[in-house]
Amino acid sequence: MGNNIMFDIFPAIDLRRGKCVRLRQGDPNAETVYGDDPVAIARRWVDQGATWLHVVNLDGALGDSLDPEVLSPNLQALAAICNEVPVPIQFGGGLRTLEDIRSVLDLGVARVVLGTVAVTRPDIVREALRRFGSERIAVGLDAREGRVATHGWAQVSEVSVVALGQAMREAGVRWAVYTDIQRDGMLSGVDAEAVARLAEQTGLRVIASGGVAGLADIDALLSVAHRGVAGVIIGQALYAGRVDLSAALSRVREVLR
């Protein structure tokens, strides 16, 4: 396929009250707890070959503000993962201000994902790009039927995902995480064509999130990697044993070599 195409697999570690959980379709009332030691879970994925991790502060996404003076249980867990795991961390959830962004980058996060503020305060995204650079900033394009959802997916805006993606690319953003909310945590499969189309329409490097059910979804996304699909976040499928991370990483190496 060519050596200039990059495609990463990001095991997801979703934090709620310091524990590793999964939600179905982002519903805080549909929660499964997978462990109370996020560092051990992070180590497990790295031991299986992960070269990135995707960590989410669900408490922040669902409305708890970050207090820079007090590390919440989730930020304590994030700091421990950054300190003890030797791969870059992509982190999102509840980052609403430049101070929030700086505080988690200072903890050791490699790239932040900005969701709600991309809609409500695009000026913060532009300033974050200016201060921290385009490699450290991604936007979260979270979609319900093509429209952008914000505030932990509780509110659906009138803004189309494509329009927001195009505006963010014009602002200087290079990276996006695209989540099809209706598929998230449902093991229902990925719409690889929709992800590729979004990448082409916006010019963003798009990381797919939500719905991975098995290796066939990895194959489908790899088949459109040349169109701007830069990776996939896998959560439920890993925790439910539907995807073996080592096998998925091997598949990526086979296709891209």
Selecting among 59, 142, 180, 184, the annotated active-site residue is: 142
Which of 14, 59, 180, 191 does the annotation list as catalytic?
14
Catalytic residue flag (residue 100)? no
Closest C-alpha among 108, 62, 101 to residue 83: 108
What are 183's two structure tokens?
């598929």
The residue to which tokens 């439910």 are assigned: 240
Tell me, yes or no, if 142 is annotated catalytic.
yes
Residues carrying an active site annotation = 14, 142
